[in-house]
Chains A and B, each alone.
Chain A
């Protein structure tokens, strides 16, 4: 089974900060990595697919990079509406899918 880890598990940041979240796979998953944002009480929302492709309608301050086992989600300038929990998800082992444990971004 492919295991996903994320670091940090939580972080505190200020509006305008550059934020980077890391997702690591237990084996190479090429670029089969997606990122979601979840706000409290809401469903997750797709931000990035295939490691670096921005989903339609998602602000350009979000970007994704990486391949193999190490991936990053970057928010170039944190906005008030970006405080949320972020999850990565791998699809390399399709038809089995796994999510990372999440990274909570809150206000410093």
Chain B
């Protein structure tokens, strides 16, 4: 079955850009939507954005000015860039497949998550 794995630096300095990659295995990235979701320590889940394998994107309005999600179908990967980070961006970042159907849209499966700390 499809599995997802996040990778990237665990520590980012304030004002710099957070960069993460999600590698999809066990299936093709094509014909699906792929998403990033984050969870600050001890808090709830926040949807960041998604990308279709063709490259079309949608972002959370609260983060839109700082977020870029891209896809590399040749590597079966998609990536997240979040610019001008502050301590408030410290969180566990998850990648997930976004399943879109007539009855709605849901996230399944998820990667294991990676903690990114913003600190100097």
Q: Could you tell me which A residues sit within 8 Å of B by CB distance?
A: 31-34, 36, 42-46, 49-50, 53, 55, 87, 89, 91-92, 94-102
Distance between B4 CB and nearest chain A CB, rounded to angstroms: 9
Q: Which 5 A-B pairs have the closest CB atoms?
A: A50-B103, A95-B58, A43-B110, A91-B105, A46-B108
Candidates A96, A99, A102; contact of B58 at CB < 8 Å:
A96
The CA of A32 and the CA of B45, in the complex, are separated in Å by 18
Q: How many residues of B contact A (CB 8 A)?
A: 24
* Cβ contacts A to B, 6 pairs, < 8 Å: A31-B104, A43-B113, A49-B108, A50-B104, A95-B50, A99-B44
CB <8 Å contact, A31 and B103: yes
Given A43-B112, A96-B60, A96-B61, are A89 and B44 also a contact pair (CB < 8 Å)?
Answer: no
Distance between A86 CB and nearest chain B CB, rounded to angstroms: 11
The CA of A23 and the CA of B111, in the complex, are separated in Å by 25
Q: Could you tell me which B residues sit within 8 Å of A by CB distance?
A: 44-47, 50, 58, 60-61, 94, 96, 99-101, 103-113
Candidates B47, B106, B111; contact of A49 at CB < 8 Å:
B106
CB <8 Å contact, A99 and B103: no
CB <8 Å contact, A33 and B44: no
User: Cβ of A45: which chain B residues have Cβ within 8 Å of it?
Assistant: 110
Given contacts A46-B108, A50-B101, 16 further A-B contacts (CB under 8 A): A31-B104, A32-B104, A34-B104, A36-B45, A42-B112, A43-B110, A44-B110, A49-B104, A89-B45, A89-B106, A91-B105, A94-B104, A94-B105, A99-B44, A99-B45, A100-B44
